[in-house]
Every structure is written in C-alpha cells, then in structure tokens.
Amino acid sequence: MFIWDFLLGDVMDQIIDWFYGQLIGFLADFFAQMGNMGVELFDMSWIQSIVLFFSYRAWALYGTGLVVSCFETGIEYQNGRGSIKDAA
C-alpha cells in the first residue's frame, strides 16, 4: 500500500500542477485579450464622440444644477428662510 500511495502521490501532484498551469495560462491569456479589446474600443472615432457627448452633457447638467441652486438660495433669502446648508 505504501508504494501505491507514493506513486499515486507523485502522479496526482503532476496532474494537479499541470491543471493549475493550464488554468493560470488560460486566465492570463483571457484577461490580456480582454484588456487589448478595451484599448481598441476607445480608439474608434464614434466611441470617442459618444464619450465626449456624455461628458459635455454631464458638465451642462452640473452647470444647470449650480445655477438652479443659486437661484433657489436667493429666493429663500428674499423670503427670510435662506440657509446655505438647506440649498442642497
């Protein structure tokens, strides 16, 4: 029995090492290819246009919110209930 345990232990260690190496190799290749896809995706002009559109839209919404908040605070101060803390 001891001989079989010794032989099976070596064989199983080799099989597990091979399987682990294959799994790590697959995951490394997979994530490398996924990373390259992301880089290539943002090089396209129409993707850059969409990102730029939403960036401009975000800044416009930020500016609009800031102006509305300033006007709301001013109106509240005119009515005597103004507070900078309550402007949010």
* Residue 53, amino acid: F
> Would you state the pLDDT for residue 87?
65
Mean of pLDDT values over 81-87:
73
- Angle CA(23)–CA(25)–CA(29) in degrees, nearest 5? 120
pLDDT tens readout for residues 20-59: 999 999 999 998 888 777 777 788 899 999 999 999 999 9
Question: Model pTM greater than 0.75?
Answer: no
Find tokens 């994530």 and name the residue.
31
